[in-house]
Amino acid sequence: MSPDLHQRRLPSQQVGEFTVTALSDGYLGARLDFLANISPEDAAQLQLAAGISDPAAIHINCYLVQGRGRTILVDAGAGGLNQWGGELLNHLARAGVQPADIDTVLLTHAHPDHIGGLIDAAGGMAFANAELVVHERELAFWEDDGNLGQASERARGNFLLARSVFERYRKNLRPFTTNDVLPGISAQALPGHTAGHCGYRFESGGGGLLIWGDIVHFPHIQIAHPQVTIAFDHDPLVSAATRARLLDIASSDHLMVAGMHLGALGFARIERFASGYFVVYET
Ligand SMILES: [Zn+2]
Ligand SMILES: [Zn+2]
């Protein structure tokens, strides 16, 4: 973590009764040739133009939501898995919250950089008192033996990790099928990235926020060029269509958005520009 991130206050937004705080988990290493529909050279150029010094590093956010009597974590970062992330608990402590205080974990999807942090160093539940809330489609996908049988070696590791996390939380697992997750919080299906990928919409006191999961991995590239997809997408065509539709809505509605790979500032609005869009961070 850079020293200035230690000093800076944690990015936080008030959405009616909800206080939403972005907690960085750190970075995961990727490669720009994981992207499709753009050359690595053009992708690197966009990153450098945005002032990003390590163009292939993907930043990981989690979000703490406090309000209406609850202490909620949205996704849990990579937890140091594959030497990715691992900073979440430090930032949670800076927010004055202990792991045992988390009563709910809302999962956008079950990729390793979102669930690695659910398991602690001893292999147990990192959030012992939390109910793990996940879309039923996401859970069913990772638990399906047919899907596991067809998986590549790399994807096989993702299946085994997802299964072991679900197993640890089994008695506290709440799969949902309808969008009403909790009072003031609704799930929004954002298809394409994984089988059950979804965002969470917070509405309170006239304020609104959408935490959009993995709609982008490289915000300065994929918001400018929504057709650019990444090798992690389960269905790239559908994920590009979902991103294009959502950027259109977010810019038209002036909606505040947050995302697991939106960057360390955590919250932004989307503005329309020529044939694409650009991101304006909330500071
Ligand atoms: Zn993902
Ligand atoms: Zn991710």
Q: Per-residue confidence at 1, pLDDT binned at 50, 70, 90? A: very low
pLDDT digits (tens, 9 = 90+) for 13-32: 999 999 999 999 999 999 99
Which residue shows structure tokens 């979102």?
Answer: 114
Of all residues in the chain, the percent with pLDDT exceeding 70 is: 98
Average pLDDT of the residues in 49-76: 97
Separation of CA 9 and ligand 1 centre (Å):
27
| Residues at Cβ < 5 Å from ligand 1 ion | 111, 214
Give pLDDT tens digits for 185-241.
999 999 999 999 999 999 999 999 999 999 999 999 999 999 999 999 999 999 999
pLDDT at 6: 54
Q: Compute the distance from residue 205 Cα to the ligand 1 centre, in Å.
A: 31
Domain 3-281's class?
alpha beta
Q: Summarize pLDDT for 167-187 with one digit per residue, the tens.
A: 999 999 999 999 999 999 999
Q: What per-residue confidence (pLDDT) applies to 154?
A: 84
Å from CA of 130 to ligand 1 middle? 22
Q: What is the pLDDT of residues 259-280, one digit of tens each?
A: 999 999 999 999 998 878 999 9
Q: Is the pTM of this model over 0.85?
A: yes
Closest CA to 46 of 213, 193, 217: 217
Pairing of strands 180-182, 185-189: antiparallel
Residue 135, pLDDT above cutoff 80: yes
Distance 215 CA to ligand 1 centre (A): 9
Interatomic CA distance for residues 35 and 232, integer angstroms: 9
Ordered by start, the domain boundaries in the chain are 3-281
What integer is the mean pLDDT of 69-76? Answer: 98
